[in-house]
Chains A and B, each alone.
Chain A
Amino acid sequence: MNNIMEITDLSKSYKDFSLKGINITLEKGYIMGFIGPNGSGKSTTIKLIMNLIKKDSGDIKIFGLDNESNNLSIKERIGFVYDENYFYEELTVKEMKEMVRPFYSRWDEKIFKRYAKDFELPLNKEIKHLSKGMKMKFSLAIALSHHAELLIMDEPTSGLDPLIRSELLDVLQSLLQDENKSIFFSTHITSDLDKIADFITLINNGEIILSKTKDELLEEHCIVKGSKKQLNIDNPLNFIGIKQNDFGFEALCRDKKAVIKQYGDSVIIEKPTLEDITVFYTRRSDHHVSSN
């Protein structure tokens, strides 16, 4: 069983939003970045994975097991970090850890102590007096102290300063040296993923727009920059999205060869960032085209 997580045709409807039969597969030993704008369905998907909300239809298999009927045994093997603090603010770091610890049969106090030391966690301080970064580090220390095989992270970097973000990413990267661990990392700060992600899944408006390896994604897309005149050619390329201003246009395209064939040297072709890809795929534009 190489797939650590398999989501099939997962749907969930609310009054004003719905997740429309999404499919995601995460292999063992990889980090998947789950990106998309605010309100695109990232948190809903994670809540469904964690059984915080009930699905309307579809399947979620984690470690090859159905996530509802094997809820407890799956959660024993999952570590989670959320976008905000849900810990009891009135408890101290140590009291909170003591509360969580007995529920994990594979809790490893040595690992916790090591992270507590590395992160300089103030064990006797009440959680409400911790900074946002410290709360996230505490959350991460809890998530990493019971030999979790899958880390689920819902926007863990939102609202954190660049230093703590980069510290977090370093920890995640070093974790992945253990090939049995996988990470599912949702964020709208795509630069977090430039460094660490193996796979990228882009969600928008409750639909998966694309899901592939980061390298493949960056390789097969390109940013084209040129003058406005060049856009008026009769047979415009199949741009994924176009931004225009007084000076010219900028577009994301999937077929680099076709761009070169059509425009030759008259346009600038650049490698896109994940942010470019997210923005061009998800901005509300008539030029939007799905890749699937």
Chain B
Amino acid sequence: MYHLIKKDILMQKKALKLSVLLIIFFTITLSNMGPAGLTVGVLAISYQLVLGASALEDKNKSDVILISLPIKRTTIVLSKYVSIYIYAAYAALGFYLIYLITSLLNLPLDIPFNFSGFIGAIIAVTLFCSIAFPLIFKYGFLKAKMANLFIFFVFVFGGTGLVSYLNKNNKLLMSQDIISFFRNSSDIELLLILAVPLVLILICSYNISLAFYKKREF
């Protein structure tokens, strides 16, 4: 699995360079969104890299090679799911480094880097990929492209729209609520409340992807 993920990263050398610029760009443009900015930023970078890898896979028709090698289909599918978090961690690290640099240099930028933004990013990336991957494993990247783009925008505009709507209407300050909720909950409670449904969604998505991939013909 390690070698499959490494391959995804190696073949995206250009995309990785581009993502550094994107991280800087998002840091500036999303800085007024608060923690949601980090969430959107990490989601966007992960989206770029996850789908970028699938696009190259599709372009090269490389599933033919992967299936012809002695590799289990479970390994191929699982490595894609694991790679999500590597990209997300990479993006988060990028945002964090810029956050560090700007605070060290006292630059007049309000970089939103905090725990709730990061957790939000993990949730968003997990949910996004849980929907996107089964489509990719069933239809291939190209056929699933429009659907995935649509899902991405629903996530970004839907999510941020929802937060600003709730903020504006003062009905529920979600980010505040999350922070106070985190403060008041124990670690185990938090872990269960957030991790259990996420893991369940991931497991379901993984199994659906695997079932599709096992049936897929090349």
Please, what's the 1-or-0 string for A133-149, where 1 marks a CB less than 8 Å from any CB in chain B?
A: 00000000000000000
Interface core residue of B3, B7, B56, B65 (most chain A CB under 10 Å): B65
Cβ 8 A contact of A86, one of B7, B13, B60: B60
Residues in chain B near residue A53, CB distance under 8 A: 217-218
Determine whether B143 belongs to the interface, using a CB cutoff of 8 Å to chain A.
no
Determine whether B142 belongs to the interface, using a CB cutoff of 8 Å to chain A.
no
Check A100–B69 contact: CB distance below 8 A: yes
A217 to B10, CA, bound (A): 50
A152 to B62, CA, bound (A): 17
Determine whether B215 belongs to the interface, using a CB cutoff of 8 Å to chain A.
yes
Determine whether A34 belongs to the interface, using a CB cutoff of 8 Å to chain B.
no
Residues in chain A near residue B60, CB distance under 8 A: 85-89
| Min distance, Cβ B197 to any Cβ of chain A, angstroms | 34
Check B64–A82 contact: CB distance below 8 A: yes
Number of residue pairs A-B, CB distance < 8 angstroms: 69
Check B7–A88 contact: CB distance below 8 A: yes
Check B70–A52 contact: CB distance below 8 A: no
A54 to B215, CA, bound (A): 8
Determine whether A47 belongs to the interface, using a CB cutoff of 8 Å to chain B.
yes
Known: A52-B217, A82-B64, A99-B3. A90 touches B11 (CB 8 A): yes
Determine whether B67 belongs to the interface, using a CB cutoff of 8 Å to chain A.
yes
Check A102–B11 contact: CB distance below 8 A: no
Determine whether A7 belongs to the interface, using a CB cutoff of 8 Å to chain B.
no
Interface footprint category on B: 20 to 34
| Min distance, Cβ A123 to any Cβ of chain B, angstroms | 14
User: Would you list which residues of chain B between 1 and 46 have a CB under 8 Å from chain A?
Assistant: 3-4, 6-7, 10-14
Determine whether B68 belongs to the interface, using a CB cutoff of 8 Å to chain A.
yes
Residues in chain A near residue B11, CB distance under 8 A: 88, 90-91
Determine whether A280 belongs to the interface, using a CB cutoff of 8 Å to chain B.
no
Residues in chain B near residue A88, CB distance under 8 A: 7, 11, 56-57, 60, 62
Closest to B8 in A: A88
A86 to B61, CA, bound (A): 6
A175 to B141, CA, bound (A): 39
A102 to B1, CA, bound (A): 10
Cβ 8 A contact of A95, one of B10, B57, B64, B67: B10
Check B64–A91 contact: CB distance below 8 A: no
Closest to A143 in B: B68
Residues in chain B near residue A47, CB distance under 8 A: 217-218
Determine whether A38 belongs to the interface, using a CB cutoff of 8 Å to chain B.
no
Check A52–B3 contact: CB distance below 8 A: no
Check A91–B70 contact: CB distance below 8 A: no
Check A72–B70 contact: CB distance below 8 A: yes
Check B10–A103 contact: CB distance below 8 A: no
A95 to B12, CA, bound (A): 13
Cβ 8 A contact of B10, one of A54, A87, A91: A91
Check B7–A103 contact: CB distance below 8 A: no
User: Would you list which residues of chain B between 87 and 102 have a CB under 8 Å from chain A?
Assistant: none
Known: A86-B60, A88-B62. A75 touches B7 (CB 8 A): no
Check A80–B68 contact: CB distance below 8 A: yes
Determine whether A285 belongs to the interface, using a CB cutoff of 8 Å to chain B.
no
Check B68–A75 contact: CB distance below 8 A: yes
Check A75–B65 contact: CB distance below 8 A: no
User: Would you list which residues of chain B between 104 and 158 have a CB under 8 Å from chain A?
Assistant: none
Determine whether A50 belongs to the interface, using a CB cutoff of 8 Å to chain B.
yes
Known: A50-B68, A75-B70. A87 touches B62 (CB 8 A): yes
Closest 5 CB pairs of A and B: A90-B11, A75-B70, A53-B217, A86-B64, A52-B218
**Which residues of A are at the interface with B, using a C-beta cutoff of 8 A?**
47, 50-54, 71-73, 75-76, 78, 80, 82, 85-91, 95, 98-100, 102-104
Offer 13 A-B interface pairs, CB within 8 angstroms, sorted by A.
A72-B70, A75-B68, A75-B69, A76-B70, A78-B68, A85-B60, A87-B60, A88-B60, A89-B60, A95-B7, A99-B3, A99-B4, A104-B69
**Which residues of B are at the interface with A, using a C-beta cutoff of 8 A?**
3-4, 6-7, 10-14, 56-57, 59-62, 64-65, 67-72, 215, 217-218
Known interface pairs A53-B218, A104-B70; 17 further A-B residue pairs with C-beta atoms within 8 A, sorted by A's residue number: A47-B217, A47-B218, A52-B68, A54-B217, A76-B70, A86-B61, A86-B64, A88-B7, A88-B60, A89-B59, A90-B13, A90-B56, A95-B10, A98-B3, A99-B6, A100-B69, A104-B69
